[in-house]
Structure 1
């Protein structure tokens, strides 16, 4: 998975040697997804990820491909004409600021970047742009580990309250719940965080405006709900009773893969070693999110400020008990 609506698939060498087989594969993907979940998709197949993205764009924009573009099956002159007609900003990973610098070097189209000297590109920019130029030539240079596959650069848990929160204890409960939800998401993505930003705020139209926030540097990268909850409470000294707060939240940044960072023994906590985050997540997924929480995040009955969900659209494609009912 690359994003919410994109994925890279690696096809077998046998299929990759046969343009007709690749086209048939693309059509099968399109028809299967349309039949099973009703979502129209386009498929681009090429030797590299960058060319696959370009092929997908062609499949989406040009009716002649009918949603499936197999780059090796197209004529070389057509490929050159297409790449010469598209600005370099259409290349995956080339933003507007980078485009301006490339244009200043005389590289204004995709064809120009593909023909550029890779060594010159690396000296002028960096190895990432050089690899993009190589990929446009059909040389695989972006390996799977370098994709942003399932990795988040930041994680935010924040909600507007259904009714204003006017006490420090109310904000404490909200931050406890949000910190524990953040821990659950980190565990899901096999990540840990080193920085936490905690914030709260009144309505933009409130007479008493207040937007306290604090940046907490965690002692070590962690996904432990106890540590994250303690960190979130660092905002509480800035919270004033009587102020009508409309929202609060936590933002986790400096995210890293969990397996890549093991703290020294002196920094480890027993509750983190016991897998508290994984245990809470497993129980909540099985029995319901409202069943279990740590400290203030586990107080029952649930807080009155939580978002109202009585008018929530049924989740007919993901929950058995909310399947659509058809009446004759």
Structure 2
């Protein structure tokens, strides 16, 4: 502590560091030796807690559990407008399955789903912003159930010929997976056998677009998919984008 400057402590830098230096406090050891009550009066309760923590007195409890997400959303802008209900059906199928993957990855299930679409805010001549929120039969992360719900939610609200620029699927009222089990008497044969998510081993190895139900299993991405030519390299999350280094 005697070798590390006081500004090495998180939250102490710049102007605060200069004030401490003016009081003869240059290192962490110097700060540790001060009276926490006096320093609280001069600065704040955060300064008092910092000094007490330096002296081994716990003031900030360690959070051992991560707060559960309250909602999950998968939304994208289209590279080319979607102008028909049939194409929006395709969009909702893919988005619902992408959301299901994220839901299963977080080991959660959803009770409510909201599906929405919209034209560009700059397009005043053909404005349309359909949105539907529906309650799922049971809390679930099953991609079949979520896809079925998403594809039917906006089916009668999409106006053919209108250029939709964006759409999304939002899952709400989330709870830990298994907190509210499926009821066998109401579950289909598929739901009883495959409740959960798409095969995790395949998805983890080949990415979210490697497998899907129906139109979401297309080999090539639809023409309305968001273009990402200017996307920054993702060296830490995408195997295909790892830089290759060769020794001469």
Q: Same fold (TM over 0.5)?
A: yes
* Cα displacement (A) at 1:281: 3.7
User: Which has the higher Rg, Structure 1 or Structure 2?
Assistant: 2
Question: Superposition pairs for residues 150-161 of structure 1, below 5 Å?
Answer: 151-161=68-78
How do 1:191-202 and structure 2 match up within 5 A?
191-202=108-119
Equivalent pairs, count: 227
Determine which structure has the larger helix proportion and give its number. Answer: 1
C-alpha displacement of 1:174: 0.7
Distance 1:211 1:86, change over 3 A: farther
Q: Is residue 2:155 matched to residue 1:236?
A: yes
Matches within 5 A, 1:102-251: 138=58, 144-145=64-65, 147-148=66-67, 151-206=68-123, 207-233=125-151, 234-251=153-170
Give the conservation status (yes or no) of the 8 Å contact 2:109–2:174: yes
Return 5+ residue gaps in structure 1 as ranges.
1-19, 28-41, 45-55, 92-109, 112-136
The alignment partner of 2:173 has SS state of strand
Query: Is the Cα contact below 8 Å between 2:98 and 2:208 reproduced in 1?
Result: no
Q: Is the 8 A contact 2:114 2:134 kept in 1?
A: yes
Q: 1:236 deviation in Å?
A: 1.4
TM-score, structure 2 as length reference: 0.75
Which runs of structure 2 are paired with 1:11-90 in the superposition (5 Å)? Answer: 56-58=10-12, 63=17, 74-75=32-33, 77-78=35-36, 81-82=39-40, 85-86=43-44
Structure 2: gaps of 5 or more residues:
22-26, 49-56
CA distance 1:268–1:173, shift in 2 (3 Å) = same
CA 1:222–1:281: 2 relative to 1, 3 Å? same
1:150-171 Cα shifts (integer Å, max 9, x gaps): x322111000000000010111
State the alpha-carbon separation in 2 of the partners of residues 315 and 84 from structure 1.
46
Cα deviation for residue 190 of structure 1 reads 0.5
1:79 shift after superposition: 6.0
Hey, what's the Cα distance between the residues in 2 that align with 1:195 and 1:76? 54
Between the aligned partners of 1:43 and 1:264, the Cα distance in structure 2 is: 56
Distance in 2 of aligned mates of 1:220 and 1:317: 36
Supply the distance in 2 between the matched residues of 1:60 and 1:74 (Cα, whole angstroms): 19
Q: Which is bigger in relative contact order (C-alpha 8 A, separation at least 6)?
A: 2
CA RMSD of aligned residues (A): 3.6
